[in-house]
Structure 1
Amino acid sequence: MDKDRIKGSANKVEGSSKETLGKLSDDPELEAEGKIKKADGAIQKAFGKVKDALRTG
């Protein structure tokens, strides 16, 4: 498993947490930051999948 997949998953979890905290605390900046972090994690995870596929393919 590529390290980008692991980091991407961690970023998605962190982003989800920030987004939820932002919603609960009525903090739109924190919520937006969480959404961005979550999207960044999804992209990073996808990049890691591609790297894995190229290595094994």
Structure 2
Amino acid sequence: MQRTNRLRFFFGPATRGDTDSPVVHRHDDFELASEADLAHFDVETDSNGHHYAVRKDDTK
């Protein structure tokens, strides 16, 4: 704990922010591009509960 106390002395206490405030999602160009890329996949679950992505077949 001495090392932690020394770091706290130099850098100050860790800030945690307001944990009660809602998360703000920004719909920027990167997020829109990611959503477009992920739209080509379906999430499947096997009998053991493992999740994996399967590329959607566009020929259906």
Using the size of structure 2 for normalisation, the TM-score is 0.27
Using the size of structure 1 for normalisation, the TM-score is 0.28
Higher CA-based Rg: 2
Greater strand proportion: 2
- Point out which structure has higher relative CO (alpha carbons under 8 A, 6+ apart): 1
Greater helix proportion: 1
